[in-house]
Amino acid sequence: MSGHGKFYDVIIVDAGSAGVTAPIHATRKKMDFAALTVDGGGQVIYLSEVENYTGF
């Protein structure tokens, strides 16, 4: 690459349950990451009750 842009170890797409948990694990492993999302929560925002969810 000619010095433009940035390389990431991980690119996280969306902010559902996996998208919220993935940055935690990437940070623990000292990885550079980018998170891309339109709105946070994913499908879980349509549920009335969720147990053991990192995002809450």
Eight-class DSSP state of 23:
H
Q: What is the pLDDT of residues 17-51, one digit of tens each?
A: 788 889 999 999 999 999 998 876 677 778 788 77
Q: Which residue has the tokens 């969306």?
A: 14
d(CA 7, CA 17): 24
Q: Domain ranges in the chain?
A: 1-56
Nearest 5°: the CA angle 19, 23, 27 is 170
Rounded to two decimals, the pTM is 0.67
